[in-house]
Amino acid sequence: MKISKIGEFGLIERIRKRANRVSKRKEILTGIGDDCAVIKNTGTEYLLVTTDTLSENVHFSKKYFSAFDIGYKSLAVNLSDIAAMGGIPMCCLVTLCLPNSITIKEIDELYRGINFLAAKYNVQVIGGDIIKSLSGLTVSISLIGKTLNKRGILRNGAAPGDNIFCTGSFGDSAAGLFAFQKGIAGMKYLKEKHLRPNARIQEGIYLARTGKITSMIDSSDGLDKSLRILCEESKTGCVIDYDKIPISAELKRFTSLTGIGLERMALYGGEEYELIFTASQKHSAVFSKKFSKIGIVTKQKQISYINKTGKVIKIGDRGFDHFSLRDK
């Protein structure tokens, strides 16, 4: 059986089931299946551990990514995982797979991008590894953080009746990538959103401190896919108000110029690294003032989109998957 048969998320689930049969340590409170692993430490602060890898010509192209951008984004995507747990980042390990063609100047610039964000969020680079690559550049970062209230905010706590909220807007990064790939001039805002995403660390900390959030995930794989993962982990479904999904003015202008539908960019694009979270009805008022309310969690285990006229919009599960044939 080829990997394309089960896809990225099917493979993750396969690995999770087999890993759980091998060993279970009491210190590991949350393992495979959330944005970070949670390890019991002492008191009310538990450790968060996550890792992400960016590989040349899979996650970035040097045609439009500078070495600084590569370093910046490599740390940003890890920071987003910590943000999705409502945690505080602390330190990281950086592993580089370097082709012979890379220059010392490029490596310096790559680390300048990493260090720029590390300084912003008080993250210390404490080690890593450097090896030779026979293809292109690969940057892999493992980030360690800590929770604010024990286990952090997991994906599996949403309950029927909870409201669904989000930060930011959706589709900008995907539109920026499309503009790069097609050589579309301008679109500076959208391109910047793709090159240098904003990890929502401060928002995640704020949400954790309220103690009122029932579940949370970041939108690295797109809004629709992230909603499906959150609901699957919580064993629920949801109804999304299609017309309340936040869309930037820049993306609307992009779609009017290119003829590409908003749905393709906003629902399936991914790499926005916005936070999607849930809160009970009685605690939702304060969040409605600061964040976009986009739907409600349901007992029925399906994902539905409804527009302002009450019409159900058919949306398929087409979020990004590294190994799915539909993404080729």
Instruction: Evaluate if residue 151 carries a pLDDT over 90.
Output: no
Cα distance between residue 173 and residue 189, in whole Å = 9
pLDDT of residue 21: 56
pLDDT of residue 180: 96
Give the pLDDT band (50/70/90) at residue 4. low
Would you place residue 324 in the very low, low, confident or very high pLDDT band (cuts 50, 70, 90)?
very low
Helix (H, G, I), strand (E, B) or coil at 154: coil
In the sheet with 292-298, reading across from the earlier edge strand, the strands are 213-218, 275-279, 163-166, 292-298, 237-241, 303-306, 312-313
Question: How does residue 141 score in pLDDT terms, banded at 50, 70 and 90?
Answer: very high
Structure tokens at 24: 């279970």
3-class DSSP state for residue 105? helix
User: What is the pLDDT at residue 69?
Assistant: 98
Average pLDDT for 211-215: 96
Q: 84-88, 160-164, 170-174, 314-318: lowest mean pLDDT where?
A: 314-318
- Helix segments in 129-241, DSSP class H: 172-182, 188-195, 201-210, 223-234
Pairing state of beta strands 88-98 and 124-132?
A: parallel
Cα–Cα separations (whole angstroms), residue 25 to 13, 20, 21, 211, 293? 19, 10, 11, 27, 38
Beta bridge partners of 303: 238
**Weakest mean pLDDT among 243-247, 297-301, 312-316:** 312-316
- The proportion of the chain whose per-residue pLDDT surpasses 70, expressed as a percent, equals 88
Instruction: Please answer whether residues 87 and 147 qualify as being in contact, where contact means their C-beta atoms are separated by less than 8 angstroms.
Output: yes
- Domains of the chain, earliest start first: 34-146 (3.30.1330.10), 163-327 (3.90.650.10)
Asked if residue 17 has pLDDT above 70, the reply is: no
pTM for the predicted model, two decimal places: 0.89
pLDDT for 18-47, tens place per residue?
655 555 777 777 766 767 888 887 776 799
